[in-house]
A = this chain, B = another copy of it.
């Protein structure tokens, strides 16, 4: 009976961590949600056909390929899902959009703001032809985070006065941890900034509904060289940690900190927002919990720990009964479902390439501020066009 709904044929490029997570999303989306299309895991591409073939079998794709250029042209593929290192995002996305494929591109959108701008232009041109493009900031799809967004949008915490975001990991804390493409600026664009900071900036802008307009920042590189897997050492050319004070359009200030050296913090992506009538706080390491302070209630005041598993919470009605928690992977299932629906409805999915390019501009300003030690403005696309 599978297949009663029209298929939406996916071609995915990349089969490492993100490839596995996106596969999980495509595989389960139509089983959890009632979707207008049935995602079909059509073809998985990698750089090596043997490894891609193994990955396709393991992750459940019908076919494997080794040249993304062929893939984006195939007539039996409707969606291109980009899970490669950052340096390939731009060329693949441009080719896919040109070929009339909907595009889901993993974050960060690009390695530089300039690349991102090209992609935004291509997405705009494609949108006019009914082709959709989305960037994979998947943490937006954690129910507790989506609930925070809804509560803020409904005005439940009033005017925002503070936002503090930290995204702490520790996997590079050991100086002997090996060199990978993520430490090579040519492949990854940046280090903690693009990997963690991109999520931090996206979530901050999405939750507040405001753009960041200026930044002062400092970054750090703790370990300059690391062992290569095949001997010798490689030079780390990316940041290990970044700290920023940011200003949003309304004037509100926020604080950011991202690092891969916070021992004991495994994936501690934490956000706290203080408004004029309430506050919200969330930490991914307890991803099902949203802390909510409703303002002064006298002797009953305090933060409420909302277990974000209630049927009224975003995404949850499609999952399990209350109290049955979701994991990291649920974000990818929710993301796939959202993208499928946007395609079916012919409306722009969020976060758009334009949203993601704005994130890239903030990250660029952080790097500039590290050089100048001064305050750097972040222009929006429109402002830059003037």
List A residues at the B interface (Cβ < 8 Å): 1-2, 4, 17, 20-21, 23-24, 27-28, 30-31, 34, 53, 56-64, 147, 157, 161-162, 164, 166, 168-171, 173-174, 216-218, 220, 222, 241, 243-245, 247, 253, 255, 257, 259, 261-268, 272, 274-279, 284-288, 292-296, 298-307, 309-310, 312-313, 319-330, 373-375
Contact = CB atoms under 8 A, between A and B. Distances in A.
A261 B161 contact: yes
B241 A216 contact: no
What is the copy number of this chain in the assembly?
A: 4
B267 A263 contact: no
B218 A2 contact: no
Contact of A301 (B157, B264, B300): B264
A296 B311 CA distance: 13
Given A266-B309, A292-B302, A245 B274 contact: no
Contacts of A279: 262-265
Given A31-B27, A275-B263, A217 B245 contact: yes
Contacts of A171: 321-322
B322 A266 contact: yes
Contacts of A243: 245, 253, 255
**Closest A-B pairs by Cβ, 7 of them:** A266-B323, A267-B323, A264-B293, A327-B327, A324-B328, A299-B312, A373-B375
A321 B293 CA distance: 19
B323 A310 contact: no
Contacts of A264: 274, 278-279, 293, 301-303
Q: Which of A20, A264, A293 has the most CB of B within 10 A?
A: A264
Contact of A222 (B161, B306, B310, B328): B161
